[in-house]
Amino acid sequence: MEITINGQQKEVKFTLNMINELDKKYTMEAGGAKFAMGLNLAFTYLSQKNPTAISNVLKACLPKVPEQHIENYVEGYAVEHGTLEPLFEELVEEMGKHPLLTATLDNFKQKARVETTETE
């Protein structure tokens, strides 16, 4: 996936470093212990159409790009397209087919389906 930020083409790379950065951003606490939930929560927030999730994922994927440039890109995209919907869809789709992420996301989606079915 490529995007243009501040006039430059950037490849959005899904790497182990990206996962580590998301794990730092998204944690859950249980019984006083912290659990890294970066990829799962980022995916959930993207699926829920949370605009800050786009920014957080792009920041993790593009660590050398200044945060303000990424935020300007997301805001500009929303204004230009009148919505962030296509960007949400593209990120979710790209994450869902990347070999580094598929096992985790497939497992997460399966568990979410099971828990949703059990609570209904």
pLDDT in tens, 30-60: 888 888 888 889 988 999 999 999 999 999 9
Q: Is 13 strand, coil or helix?
A: coil
Short-list 95, 74, 70, CA closest to 84 = 74
Amino acid at 6: N
User: What does the pLDDT read at residue 110?
Assistant: 78
Q: What is the mean pLDDT of the chain?
A: 89
Q: What is the pTM of this model?
A: 0.84
Angstrom distance (rounded) from CA 7 to CA 59: 17
Burial class (CB in 10 A: 0-12, 13-18, 19+), 36: middle
Which carries the bigger pLDDT value, residue 36 or residue 66?
A: 66
Short-list 39, 58, 57, 54, CA closest to 108 = 39
Give the containing element (helix H, strand E) for 75: helix 67-81
Token pair for 77: 């995209």
User: Can you give the C-alpha Rg of the chain in angstroms?
Assistant: 15
Q: Are 20 and 13 in contact (CB under 8 A)?
A: no
The residue ranges of every structural domain in the chain are 2-119
Which carries the bigger pLDDT value, residue 111 or residue 18?
A: 18
